[in-house]
A and B are shown apart, each in its own frame.
Chain A
Amino acid sequence: AQSVTQLGSHVSVSEGALVLLRCNYSSSVPPYLFWYVQYPNQGLQLLLKYTSAATLVKGINGFEAEFKKSETSFHLTKPSAHMSDAAEYFCAVNLGGTGGFKTIFGAGTRLFVKA
């Protein structure tokens, strides 16, 4: 079965430290890949997406992710964490081409940022 695995349900970093959130997927076809962020009591919003163009994708708020086909990974990074980055992050894979009805979400990783 197709799946998305996010390693670590909780990640804690100090302000100014590197943020690394891991995502691995299983797919037999080239997917569209996404990272969404959810702030408390809000809906999800797109952070960045990979759609088979450049393998290094830049998103909002200084985040970026690299698609590595050989590792089936799409890890999210940010060089320097800010307190406002504290949120829950979801990796998602769209296996169905156009439209999103074959989108699978990971279980989410909650990021804590310590002062």
Chain B
Amino acid sequence: NAGVTQTPKFRVLKTGQSMTLLCAQDMNHEYMYWYRQDPGMGLRLIHYSVGEGTTAKGEVPDGYNVSRLKKQNFLLGLESAAPSQTSVYFCASTRAGDSGELFFGEGSRLTVL
């Protein structure tokens, strides 16, 4: 009964390096999301997807790219990491036609030096 799983859970990068965060859900949810959490700012939506092969920008998309090649997976990429991208990243999913209740992963803590 995994729910939403994120990998890796921790990562340290140097400025300019690239990396990909993987999110996998086993609930057959149509919608998936990537958020970042920063102190005092709540959660802010980076990108989201309403189905396989489709993605859209959220509130803070700059510096990030995403892909959803399979319904159960949603990847978040940083092509050239910057210190401002130091944050905790959360993946979430929800069913289409629902109230929007979000199911979250445990988070990925990224530090960019």
Contacts and interface: CB of A to CB of B under 8 A. Distances in A.
B90 A44 contact: yes
A34 B101 contact: yes
Interface residues of B, number: 27
A101 B44 CA distance: 11
B98 A99 contact: yes
Nearest to A94: B100
Contact of B42 (A43, A49, A99, A108): A108
B4 A98 contact: no
Interface string B73-110: 00000000000000000101010111111101111000
B36 to A, nearest CB: 11
A72 interface: no
- Taking residues whose C-beta sits less than 8 angstroms from the other chain, chain A's interface range is 20 to 34
Contacts of A106: 42
Contact of A32 (B31, B99, B105): B99
B56 A101 contact: yes
Contacts of B58: 101
A94 B100 CA distance: 7
Contact of B99 (A51, A90, A101, A107): A51
Nearest to B93: A100
B41 A107 contact: yes
B101 A49 contact: yes
A67 B50 CA distance: 29
Which interface residue of B4, B48, B98, B99 has the most chain A CB atoms within 10 A? B99
Contacts of B31: 99-101
Interface of A: 4, 9, 32, 34, 36, 41-46, 49, 51, 90, 92, 94, 96-103, 105-108
9 contacts: A4-B42, A43-B90, A45-B104, A94-B100, A99-B100, A101-B56, A102-B100, A106-B42, A108-B40
